[in-house]
Amino acid sequence: KARIYAPNRDYIDIGNDKTRGYVVDRVLFDRELAKRAVNRGANLQLKERVKKVKYPEVIAFSRYKGRIIVGADGLNSVVRRSIGVKAPKIIGAMQTLVRYEAEDIEKVYIFLGNSVAKGFFAWLIPLDENFAKVGLASYHAPWDSLKNLLKKLNLKPLSIVGWGIPIGWVDRSYDNGIILVGDAASQVKATSGGGVYPGLRCAQCAVKIIERALEAGAHSSSFLSSYEKCWKSGIGRELRRTLMLHKIYRKIRDEEFNGIIRELKDEKLIRVINEEGDIDYPSRVVFKILKRKPSLLKYLSIPAKPYHIQI
């Protein structure tokens, strides 16, 4: 369930008893993935730091060789830099842990408006009855914006984390003997910054193409370009739509957010959101709502130029 606030504090409640997402302990999640990889024969080298990749060599404290090298090294990917692919644009995000007595730990709160988080949004997600995460991403001063929000909510930060959300495509997600997966390839939903699901979907493409490459003894750039074709024609289609929506969303002004929330206060529309809403495919519900309520289009400035050129 979620309560979505407009800048004027008006709100809508969406969701029902159907579970839409889970709050995951990221340390345990990553540890479990690492454990599974090791059980399948991976050689895990902790405390290593890759400095450069020059196919087939990976230069860290020691040197390694790979038939196919996967750059799944996150936002500031060294592998991406090594193959001369430019970093994507980034939006700054901050999150704090706060003491918070949740009335309903199943309910998250979303705060819209440039006055709260320019070009993005803020969130409050209860972790249990006593603690919550409060965070936001913003094109302008994310930390100051978060401090303002905490002040308004009368909450004090217990710990703080900051990161960057990659926005927009990278030019290429492959090279001779090398592929990029996850944040390294900017495989993130631009509407939310969520990269776990799309990264995993792209990893499925990576597995398929790497298996083929190893079988064929091939590693050329043109062979591995089929990895990019695979993810762009799969989850990439949704990522492209989220980019377009983000581009439109960025332009919405606070009065327009107020209007959108006012117009969404309609049982039929809320039902559409509840039935069609899918956290991993956010564009679907947006297009369904716009179809049902075309008057909402007046709040949106649709770009004349293709959005991927502008972002």
Ligand X SMILES: Cc1cc2nc3c(=O)[nH]c(=O)nc-3n(C[C@H](O)[C@H](O)[C@H](O)COP(=O)(O)OP(=O)(O)OC[C@H]3O[C@@H](n4cnc5c(N)ncnc54)[C@H](O)[C@@H]3O)c2cc1C
Site residues, ligand X (CB under 6 A): 48-50, 72-74, 78, 95, 161, 163, 182-184, 188, 193-197, 199
Contact between 150 and 96 (Cβ < 8 Å): yes
| Closer by beta carbon to ligand X, 142 or else 182 | 182
What is the C-alpha to C-alpha distance for residues 261 and 121, in angstroms, rounded to an integer? 14
| Closer by beta carbon to ligand X, 189 or else 258 | 189
Q: How far is the CB of 154 from ligand X (least distance, A)?
A: 23
Q: How far is the CB of 137 from ligand X (least distance, A)?
A: 10
Q: How far is the CB of 50 from ligand X (least distance, A)?
A: 4
| Closer by beta carbon to ligand X, 183 or else 256 | 183
| Closer by beta carbon to ligand X, 122 or else 188 | 188
Q: How far is the CB of 195 from ligand X (least distance, A)?
A: 2
Q: How far is the CB of 165 from ligand X (least distance, A)?
A: 7
| Closer by beta carbon to ligand X, 93 or else 264 | 93
How distant is the alpha carbon of residue 156 from its chain centre?
26
Q: How far is the CB of 254 from ligand X (least distance, A)?
A: 25
| Closer by beta carbon to ligand X, 157 or else 303 | 157
Q: How far is the CB of 94 from ligand X (least distance, A)?
A: 9
| Closer by beta carbon to ligand X, 155 or else 218 | 155
3-state secondary structure the chain: CEEEECCCCCEEEECCCCCCCCCCCHHHHHHHHHHHHHHCCCCCCCCCCCCEEECCEEECCCEEECCCEEECCCCCCHHHHHCCCCCCEEEEEEEEEEECCCCCCCCEEEECCCCCCCCCCEEEEECCCCEEEEEEEECCCHHHHHHHHHHHHCCCEEEEEEEEEEECCCCCCEECCEEECHHHHCCCCCCCCCCHHHHHHHHHHHHHHHHHHHHHCCCCHHHHHHHHHHHHHCHHHHHHHHHHHHHHHCCCCHHHHHHHHHHHCCHHHHHHHHHHCCCCCHHHHHHHHHHHCHHHHHHCCCCCCCHHHHC
